[in-house]
Amino acid sequence: MRGFWLLTAVGLAAAEDGLNGWLRYARLPCDVAKHARVPSTIVALNTTETSPVYTAGQELQKGIKGILGRRLNITRDATESSLLIIGTLDDFNTAGVDTEIPELVEDGFWLSVKGDAVEIVGQNERGALYGAFQYLSMLAQANFTEVAYASNPSASIRWVNQWDNMDGTIERGYAGLSIFFNNYTIVSNMTRVSQYARLLASIRVNAIVINNVNANPTILSETNIEGLARVADAMRPWGVRIGISLNFAAPQTFGGLSTFDPLDESVIAWWSGITDKLYARVPDLAGFLVKANSEGQPGPLTYNRTLADGANLFGREAKRHGGIVMFRAFVYDHLTLDENNWKDDRANAAVDYFRDLDGQFEDNVVVQIKYGPIDFQAREPPSPLFAHLPNTASAIELQVTQEYLGQQCHLVYLPPLWRTILNFDLRVGGKRSVIGTDILTGRRFNKTLAGYAAVVNVGLNATWLGTHLSMSNLYAYGRLAWEPTADSAEILDDWTRLTFGLDARVRETIARMSLISWEAYENYTGNLGVQTLTDITGPHYGPNPQSMDNNPWGQWTRADANGIGMDRTVWNGTGFAGQYPAEVAAAFESIDTTPDDLLLWFHHVPYTHVLKSGNTVIQHFYDAHYNGAETVAAFPRQWESLRGLVDQQRFEEMLFRLTYQAGHAIVWRDSINQFYANISGITDAHGRVNHHPWRVEAEHMQLDGYRVTEVTPFEVASGLHIVQTVDNSTAARVSTAPLTFPAGTYDVAVAYYDLYEGRAQYELFHNDKSLGAWEGNNEERLGFTLTRGIDGHSATRITFPGIEIVEGDVLRVETTPQGRETAPLDYIAVLPAGVVD
């Protein structure tokens, strides 16, 4: 008996590593499950094993077994009773099964649940599979109501992009190596590939581009085309088509031609040959994704051809086979932007490049536009380009991978951010032009090709994205692409029920944290539309506000001693505000009508400028950073309250991340505040910035084997200094002077730096008692390379709660450096209850 229980426990733990995402099909409690009326037999009207209808039959059988513990038979006989019948509309007609349903558009479905009779009709096979997932989602959430409705997508394009490199790494990926590539070829084991397709199908994503937009042309080799065919085969049963990113210079760099001029006959012939080869092996290839003339990538401008010339080359080739081309609007020149020129502005680039090309693209070319004019920042206004392509197909590009939003080490639920874009009314021609419901549906300009792409970057990590709670963003992406007005909180609640079960406390806690998480993140990073304020020339993770200026990347803040912000007005600035349709342009042109949260995006103002909130800009910075850090300081406690309600593995993994986030938010808070206090010379009205009464700075401790140094950027060190061991191998220690804090119970936090390539050892002592030992191994625990430097990416904290301290006690950290880690220490904080510092 003991053996049996052990096995069961191990089995459960293994099942909860996150691999199944929201498709766990966890068994409902008996008293809930007993209310379910489900059919006894499944009739899948297509028995070809590669058909999504067949897949749907299998998935329904598996799901119902998991959720309710009932095993349904699958037959072809549609005459019995208590049936779940699934197929396309054509299948239903051929099988002679009568059904009257409203009109379905491509990929749409009809779901009818009446007693123990269920009917799922897809407009196509994919639609039928979506209907099956919808029914399973209802059952898994213990929703046993009778329904009869049609569901149609808002847009035909619902793609994801992976930025996987062919060597197996992933650009801006935070969850391990690629599931697609290894050592410049496509992996042989397709298990993870088809598991990913299953997740994507369940959120109604219909295509995936599997390689990085910064494309390696060797994806076009014979061997890799064979590999692509295997990927397509693995994904096809799930109704997910594949596409690839192309490198514009491939005819030259890979094909051996002397040119890649898109109008050159030999170049056109070369691409024709490649396209034919690709479609011969992958007949349903969804198409191509192209990044051209951007950030050093080759493109048609090299030959004085237009971007439309470049896009159409691929458009015509793909069209011969029924494919489409997603051509990215993310085109700008990072070498020539000059901050000394007040009128220069990277944000202008997309409209400048594409406005005059409207109507010149092939009808299967879709311009893929990042949601904001710059680059996935914590907040941006919508790209004005959405208003300028009435005669060209277009799609929005979102980012599920949290490149500028905490890289999955910070909990940031993204739909509230996406909603600021999707809900925005651009008022094109003075008429309602809401991005989600009017532009991306194609309705406003009468287009059939429109929609969504999201950069996702799942990796081999069992959690797909590196951490469990980030998966709500992937789930929500699919839901919003289908229905852009869907409510962020409701989507999250569905996801939570599917991912963690029905417990009200679990749902409320995850909602409470997630729904406030983007606001909190924006608060402790970059406020008022100034962008994320991260290290834009490095990993885009920790704080580094000065990296934004004085370089040609164009993510400028123009912060100096007097003021901050980009003047993007027409009357005095870069003119960007004038790229919006008249009503919106007028609103952004004036400080009075620009919302506070985008003030610094559009205007350059003194730090003392008074916001609509009544606060000055600088005081808003300080307050927001304190608020944001305080909000997430509560996350670990909130999550802790779920101990026992969430399985052990996912509970512990999230507790670690949320605790890490709470510490890193303080790093952010202090760095940004210290930086702007320094540059503006204006002190915090509440006396908090650069004043930390509960900290003992390492540089003021007694040092043994340590030396005092500065760091870059300066503001990521409390008190502007840190200590590092004198060499890379000798054990060392720091000790506080006898503490003068009043006797009481404190949380003791140690601020240190955890670098890639090194595992320094640390142990904290309270007088002679060890409070605990740890090592600098965040690169393993967070799962990716943060930095090799002592900076805002590596700055981190560990907290020991509930320590009884009396006056005269001494705290000591004993360390052993290792590798690049010179056991760098910043401070020890001795925090009374309720103090976040």
Annotated catalytic residues are 295, 375, 403
CB of 539 to ligand GCU, least distance (A): 9
Nearest to 803 by CA among 749, 737, 734: 749
Separation between Cα atoms, residue 215 and residue 211, nearest integer Å: 7
Q: Please, is 708 exposed, middle or buried when counting C-beta atoms within 10 Å of its C-beta (0-12, 13-18, 19+)?
A: middle
φ/ψ of 445, rounded to 5, equals -115, 20
Per-residue interface string for the shown chain with ligand GCU, residues 264-303, x marking contact by CB under 6 A: ---------------------------x------------
Among 344, 399, 337, residue whose Cα is nearest residue 368: 399
Which two three-digit tokens encode residue 699? 């540089």
- Give percent helix, percent strand, percent coil of the chain, each to the nearest 5: 35, 20, 45
Task: Give 52 or 217: the residue with its C-beta nearer to ligand GCU.
Answer: 217
Is 324 or 453 the residue whose CB approaches ligand GCU more closely? 453
Stretch 214-233: interaction string toward ligand GCU, x if CB under 6 A = x-------------------
Between 212 and 619, whose beta carbon lies closer to ligand GCU? 212
**Can you give 428-448 as a three-state secondary structure string?**
HHHCCCEHHHHHCCCCCCCCC
- CB neighbour class for 671 (10 Å; exposed up to 12, middle 13-18, buried from 19): buried
* 170 vs 836, beta carbon nearer ligand GCU: 170
Q: What is d(CA 326, CA 304) in angstroms, rounded to the nearest whole number?
A: 21
| Of 128, 213, 318, 755, the one binding ligand GCU by CB under 6 A | 213
- Give which of 187, 707, 219 is closest to 460, Cα–Cα: 187
As measured in angstroms, the least distance from the Cβ of 551 to ligand GCU is: 14
State which residue, 295 or 596, has the beta carbon closest to ligand GCU: 295
CA angle 150, 152, 157 (to 5 degrees): 165
Taking the complex as a whole, how short is the minimal distance between the CB of residue 225 and ligand GCU, in angstroms? 24
Cα angle value 590/338/575 (rounded, 5°): 25
* Comparison of 330 and 621: residue with beta carbon closer to ligand GCU: 330
Enter the tokens of residue 520.
């909190």
Alpha-carbon dihedral angle through residues 40, 44, 45, 48, given to the nearest 10 degrees: -150
Tell me the one-letter amino acid at 216: N
Q: Which is nearer to ligand GCU, 212 or 437 (CB)?
A: 212
CB of 490 to ligand GCU, least distance (A): 30
* Contacts of 466 by beta carbon, 8 Å cutoff, 6+ apart: 174, 175, 176, 407, 408, 409, 459, 782, 783, 784
Minimal distance in Å, beta carbon 672 to ligand GCU? 21
To ligand GCU, the closest distance from the beta carbon of 220 in angstroms equals 20
Nearest to 835 by CA among 677, 573, 698, 633: 633
Identify which of residues 107 and 403 has a Cβ nearer to ligand GCU in the complex: 403
Beta bridge partners of 118: 84, 113
Q: Which helix (H) or strand (E) holds 213?
A: none
CB of 295 to ligand GCU, least distance (A): 6
216-237 core/surface letters (b: 16 or more CB in 10 A; e: else)? bbebbeeebbebbbbbbbbbbb
Minimum CB distance to ligand GCU, residue 214 (Å): 5
Nearest CB to ligand GCU, comparing residues 213 and 471: 213
Contact partners, residue 264, CB within 8 Å, separation at least 6: 257
Q: Nearer Cβ to ligand GCU, position 514 or 534?
A: 534
Please state, in angstroms and rounded to a whole number, the distance separating the CA atoms of residues 662 and 175.
21
Size of the residue set binding ligand GCU (CB under 6 A): 8
- Asked if 647 touches ligand GCU (CB under 6 A), the answer is no
Non-local CB neighbours of 797 within 8 Å, separated by 6+ positions: 663, 664, 666, 667, 749, 750, 751, 752
Residues of span 16-75 touching ligand GCU by CB under 6 A? none
Quote the least distance from Cβ 446 to ligand GCU, whole Å: 29
**Chain residues 148-207 in contact with ligand GCU, contact rule CB under 6 A:** 171-172
Pick 212 or 815: Cβ nearer ligand GCU? 212
Q: Give the β-pairing of 795-805 and 744-753.
A: antiparallel
In the 8-state DSSP scheme, what is residue 709?
E
Least distance from ligand GCU to the Cβ atom of residue 460, Å? 20
> What is the C-alpha to C-alpha distance for residues 125 and 52, in angstroms, rounded to an integer?
6
Question: Which of 174, 330, 464, 482 is the binder for ligand GCU (CB under 6 A)?
Answer: 330
For ligand GCU, the closer of residues 215 and 393 by Cβ is 215
Which C-beta is closer to ligand GCU: that of 330 or that of 500?
A: 330
In the region spanning residues 668 to 687, those forming contacts with ligand GCU, defined by CB under 6 A, are none
Query: What x/- string results for residues 396 through 435 when contact with ligand GCU is judged by CB under 6 A?
Result: -------x--------------------------------
375 scored as a contact of ligand GCU (CB under 6 A): yes
CB of 542 to ligand GCU, least distance (A): 15
> Would you say how long the chain is, in residues?
837
DSSP single-letter state for residue 649: H
State in angstroms the smallest separation of the CB of 424 from ligand GCU.
Answer: 21
Please report how close the Cβ of residue 164 comes to ligand GCU at its closest, in angstroms.
Answer: 12
Establish how many alpha carbons lie within 13 A of residue 813's alpha carbon, considering only the half-sphere containing its beta carbon. 33
Residue 74 sits at the vertex; the CA angle it makes with 72 and 75, to the nearest 5 degrees, is 135
Spatial distance between the Cα atoms of 53 and 45, rounded to a whole number of angstroms: 7
In the complex, the residues that contact ligand GCU under the rule CB under 6 A are 171-172, 213-214, 291, 330, 375, 403
